[in-house]
Amino acid sequence: MFWATSPASYHTGSPARERVLPTGAMHLAIRLGGGPLRLFDNAGDADGQSVGHAVAGGARSGPYIRDVSEPVLSVGVLFRHGVSGMLVGVPAGDLAGRHTPLDDLWGASARELRDRLAEAGSPERALDLFEMWLAGRLPQVRGLHPAVAHALERFVVTSDVREVVRQTGYSHRRFVAVFREAVGLTPKVYCRVIRLQRALRVMAQGRAASLTDASLAAGYCDQAHLTREFRDLAGVTPAEYRRAAPRQLHHVPIHGA
């Protein structure tokens, strides 16, 4: 899924930081103006660290906090599960849980890409160029491992990792290694993140629904189970998430930052 943000899309008075929740997938993001992306270890971190203008964000099992105080034009892509490592050229497992400068992965090609996108003239044109650039890498891509493809399809409807492994015919250890190389997360952690995604969608669609109803609809045992998983994976409780009233599902404003 490709996306673009422009200074015009920022809202006056918005917090200077936001908490970005895990999606279970990897993304690329390229800032075409302003300073580099700045991340913070926690809400109390005053300084943070810069990670570059073009980065690969690996699959995560927890949130990260980023600076959104400077409106800039940016483009990016959230990869389909399992194909990110193939397009980037590095196993997804090697990039999981962190942001890696694209310069470190693609060298001069990353700088050339950013320069071309910056000269595009509009977010729409920049997205077209970005998509064509990635498409140009496809001939170098090998197919997704059949066991991983099967698991990704099954994990949409089940979190029974043991049964899915049995269906693939692989040993548990071998399957976990193959899956993590392709996706960046272990099957168990991936299923937890996918269940969190269901909870976020349920909460967004039925804002008046009780958290108990939302937890059951998303596949949790009860509200307490939802709260534990939410706090562990998102860094906030479901109630805190609702009070923050995020405009986008995975981007939670940090008020007072």
Question: Whole-prediction pTM value?
Answer: 0.88
Q: Is the pLDDT of residue 5 over 60?
A: yes
Give me the helices (H) in 59-118, please: 84-88, 92-95, 102-106, 108-118
Q: Could you tell me the fold of the domain covering 2-140?
A: Jelly Rolls (2.60.120)
> Which helix (H) or strand (E) covers residue 67, if one does?
strand 64-67
CB 252 within 8 A of CB 18: yes
Q: What pLDDT does residue 10 have?
A: 67
Which of 5-9, 91-95, 242-246 shows the lowest per-residue confidence on average (mean pLDDT)? Answer: 5-9
pLDDT of 129-162, one tens digit each? 999 888 887 655 567 789 999 999 999 999 999 9
Per-domain boundaries in the chain: 2-140, 146-185, 188-253
- Mean pLDDT, rounded, of the chain: 89
188-253: same fold as 2-140? no
Q: What pLDDT does residue 44 have?
A: 87
pLDDT of 180-205, one tens digit each? 988 999 999 999 999 999 999 999 88
Contacts 24+ apart (CB under 8 A), 186-193: 187/151, 187/155, 187/161, 188/161, 189/61, 190/24, 190/59, 190/81, 190/155, 191/155, 191/159, 191/161, 192/61, 192/159, 192/229, 192/233, 193/22, 193/23, 193/24, 193/60, 193/61, 193/233
Is domain 188-253 classified as CATH 1.10.10? yes
